[in-house]
């Protein structure tokens, strides 16, 4: 049992350059992070579970068009929005995930439905959308997901043929990736993790990243920690990044920070996997590490911590 | 560097009851396993790579209608075949996977194409099928995947409404799951893993199991071992089963057999995850463990081992 409770969030990592950021935009991003933290914190403060808190924070980020998830999802090569999400409960090891869903207002809510109200863990594509209708999830018209910024990013990528088979990973990387996530510790000592994304701008061939992959983008276990990742998904899959942090803690006795440092700053760097990871353990230790220029992030607990940040 | 080379395969695990098996069918299964072993072994014998050997064994199983992968894939609730596959190279940590593909003769070949000829790791649904056309993979008409046995199994499941929301996991379980896989060690000391499946009979909502999930159904790393899983996919995802074996070896110094024993006979049992795992490490140690009644399996190396088996 722990009396500490905490919420930690991220809104994506990458080449976030301060000089390309206006004061106004920076303010909006920080406000979005604060809103998301408060959404999760308010669940915890009322004695709610870690899983509900993580979900609430992610839903707040999904509803904010600044972040690449839910409303703010990027366009695929076909000019549509295909979203992925996953959630995991560290108490039960229950997990739910959806991949390639469309028109779902809050994919993280759908992932939670899969966890709680199906025999399955991972549903994909049209089938996952049918499950959403069956469970009466909130659907939005395609226009809801339109944003001028995402459209301009997509047009640029489309016209430069900067898509799946383009090996130039360096070009406008910052514009192409992004994920949101939250990890929470509740006052019962349970941890949970949730991650959601609109994927990669101009993605093709039904590409999926690490977000819906339990163990790679999302993992939670009361024995170790709750973990949510953001970055170059392919490398996070190959590294089984989220579960690796957990295993380094469980099997080598490392702290959350030590374990995450190895994964983010050594293993992922060797695979050229740019991005970041957030985590919280059942004792309330928090870590937010990234090997990219920046990571939208924030954390709040009942011991006085309350911060948001973008750059190193 | 190792001078031992070896191939290990499985053709699914579950409630395989000897009394429901005819002599003729048993003989056909064992012959199918022998053919698959020899397909991989012959690659290794000629100095081929572990990745090619694992792929060759899996392709042989995919082409055999007795096994639930490729040609022998089960029917989904909609009466179609949706297949998943994954492959991983222990030398490079390169990985490729496809989920929910249709009409592809050898999904494992498509997974290898994703690994070798795309920037991605995981492609899904129609998009993955488009990639298959683009890469000129062998396509087969829907009739190719028809088998009377699978059709009868499906009709029974369909008519009993034994599908996604049916919580009765006990009923005719044996008929609903099944996966094929292979792990190989080549004479250069490199290991590789490959897994392929037609999924769960009468599956609905685009359900995906552990097969296309790197870390859960498939994992390979020259530092530890190559691993392929078969069983109740949801539990293998929640357990991150394949990578867990690897982590227990790397971080706790356990042998392949010790690590696999913990995952198969303790962790998965606690999650009620029925199934089995096969593995080979760079020294040539082989393990084939399962917590179900049986597992179609076989192994061959250049030190005289050459066996196939079905029951405990």
Q: Evaluate if residue A89 carries a pLDDT over 90.
A: yes
Using CB atoms, pick whichever of B100, B130, B237 lies closest to residue A121. B237
Q: How far is CA A8 from CA A134, A182, A183, A228, A303, in A?
A: 32, 6, 5, 9, 14
User: What is chain A written as a DSSP string?
Assistant: --S--EEEEEEEEE---GGG--HHHHHHHHHHHHHHHHHHHHHHHTT--HHHHHHHHHHHHHTSTTSSSGGGPPP-TTS---EEEEEEETTT--EEEEEEE-SBS-HHHHHHHHHHHSS-SEEEHHHHHHHHHHTTPPB--GGGG--HHHHHHHHHHHHTT-STT---TTTTGGGT---EEEEEE-TTS-EEEEEEE--STT--TTEE-STTSBTTTEEE-TTS-EEEEEE-HHHHHHTTHHHHHHHHHHHH---HHHHHHHIIIIIHHHTT--EEEEEE-TT--EEEEESSSEEEEEEEETTS-EEEEEE-
Q: Which chain B residues in 122-161 lie under 8 Å from chain A, judged by CB atoms?
A: 122-128, 130-131, 134
Q: Evaluate if residue B213 carries a pLDDT over 50.
A: yes
Q: Kindly list the strands in the beta sheet with A207-208, ordered across the sheet, starting from the edge strand earlier in the chain.
A: A207-208, B122-124, B95-101, B83-89, B191-197, B180-185, B6-14, B294-301, B306-311
Burial degree of A252 (CB within 10 A; 0-12, 13-18, 19+): middle
Residues of A catalogued as catalytic: 179
User: pLDDT for A141-193, tens place per residue?
Assistant: 999 998 888 888 888 888 876 543 333 344 444 445 689 999 999 999 999 99
Give me the residues paired with residue A101 across strands: A83
Q: Which chain B residues in 177-196 lie under 8 Å from chain A, judged by CB atoms?
A: none
- Mean pLDDT over A71-82 rounds to 89
Of B4, B49, B76, B179, which is the active-site residue?
Answer: B179
pTM of the complete model:
0.94
* Among the ranges given (A178-187, B72-81, B180-189, B280-289), the one the predictor scored with the smallest mean pLDDT: B72-81
Question: Does the beta-carbon distance from B124 to A206 stay under 8 Å?
Answer: yes
Judge whether A87 and A193 are in contact, CB under 8 Å: yes
Question: Does the beta-carbon distance from A208 to B240 stay under 8 Å?
Answer: no
Closest-CA residue in chain B for A120? B234
Burial degree of B3 (CB within 10 A; 0-12, 13-18, 19+): exposed
CA A232 to chain centre: 12
Give the mean pLDDT of chain B.
92
Give the mean pLDDT of chain A.
92
What is the number of other CB atoms lying within 10 angstroms of the CB of residue A81? 24
Per-residue pLDDT, B168: 37
Q: Evaluate if residue A28 carries a pLDDT over 60.
A: yes
Judge whether A157 and A202 are in contact, CB under 8 Å: yes
Question: How many whole angstroms separate alpha carbon B183 and alpha carbon B262?
Answer: 19
Give pairs for B15-24: CB < 8 Å, separation 24+: B15/B173, B15/B174, B15/B292, B15/B293, B15/B294, B16/B174, B16/B292, B16/B293, B16/B294, B16/B295, B16/B296, B16/B310, B16/B311, B17/B174, B17/B293, B18/B311, B21/B310
- Residue B218 bears catalytic tag: no
Per-residue pLDDT, B177: 65
Q: How far is CA A224 from CA A85, A265, B87, in A?
A: 22, 20, 29
User: To the nearest whole angstrom, how far is the Cα of A25 from the nearest Cα of chain B?
Assistant: 32
Share of chain A above pLDDT 90, in %: 81
Question: Does the beta-carbon distance from A122 to B209 stay under 8 Å?
Answer: yes
User: pLDDT for B4-16, tens place per residue?
Assistant: 999 999 999 987 7
Per-residue pLDDT, B156: 85
| Domains defined for chain B, CATH in brackets | 6-311 (3.60.20.30)
Give me the residues paired with residue B14 across strands: B294
User: To the nearest whole angstrom, how far is the Cα of A206 from the nearest Cα of chain B?
Assistant: 4
Question: How many whole angstroms separate alpha carbon A191 and alpha carbon A208?
Answer: 26
Q: Which chain A residues in 246-265 lie under 8 Å from chain B, judged by CB atoms?
A: 247-248, 251-252
Which residues of chain A lie closer than 8 angstroms to B234, CB-CB? 119-121
Burial degree of B159 (CB within 10 A; 0-12, 13-18, 19+): exposed
């Amino acid at each position: 049992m722990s009396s500490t409770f905490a919420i930690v969030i991220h809104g994506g990592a990458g080449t976030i350059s301060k000089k390309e950021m206006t004061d106004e935009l920076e303010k909006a991003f920080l406000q979005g992070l604060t809103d998301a933290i408060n959404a999760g914190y308010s669940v915890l403060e009322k004695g709610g579970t870690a899983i509900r808190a993580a979900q609430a924070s992610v839903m707040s980020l999904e509803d904010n068009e600044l972040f690449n998830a839910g409303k703010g999802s990027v366009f695929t090569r076909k000019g549509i929005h295909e979203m992925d999400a996953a959630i995991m409960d560290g108490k039960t090891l229950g997990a739910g995930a959806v991949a390639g869903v469309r028109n779902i207002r809050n994919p993280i809510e759908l992932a939670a439905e899969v966890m709680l109200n199906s025999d399955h863990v991972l549903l994909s594509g049209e089938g996952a959308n049918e499950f959403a209708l069956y469970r009466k999830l909130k659907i939005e018209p395609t226009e809801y997901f339109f944003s001028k910024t995402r459209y301009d990013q997509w047009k640029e990528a489309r016209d430069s043929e900067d898509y799946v088979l383009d090996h130039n990973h360096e070009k406008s990387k910052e514009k192409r990736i992004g994920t949101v996530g939250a990890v929470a510790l509740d006052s019962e000592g349970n941890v949970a993790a949730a991650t959601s994304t609109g994927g990669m701008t101009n993605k093709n061939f039904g590409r999926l990243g690490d977000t819906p992959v339990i163990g790679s983008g999302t993992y939670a276990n009361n024995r170790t920690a709750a973990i949510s990742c953001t970055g170059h998904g392919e490398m996070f899959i190959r590294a089984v990044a989220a579960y690796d942090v957990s295993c380094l803690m469980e099997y080598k006795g490392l702290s959350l920070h030590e374990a995450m440092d190895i994964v983010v700053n050594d293993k992922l760097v060797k695979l050229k996997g740019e991005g970041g990871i957030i985590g919280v353990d059942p004792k309330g230790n928090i870590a937010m590490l990234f090997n990219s220029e920046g990571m939208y992030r924030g954390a709040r607990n009942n011991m006085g911590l309350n911060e948001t940040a973008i750059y190193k």
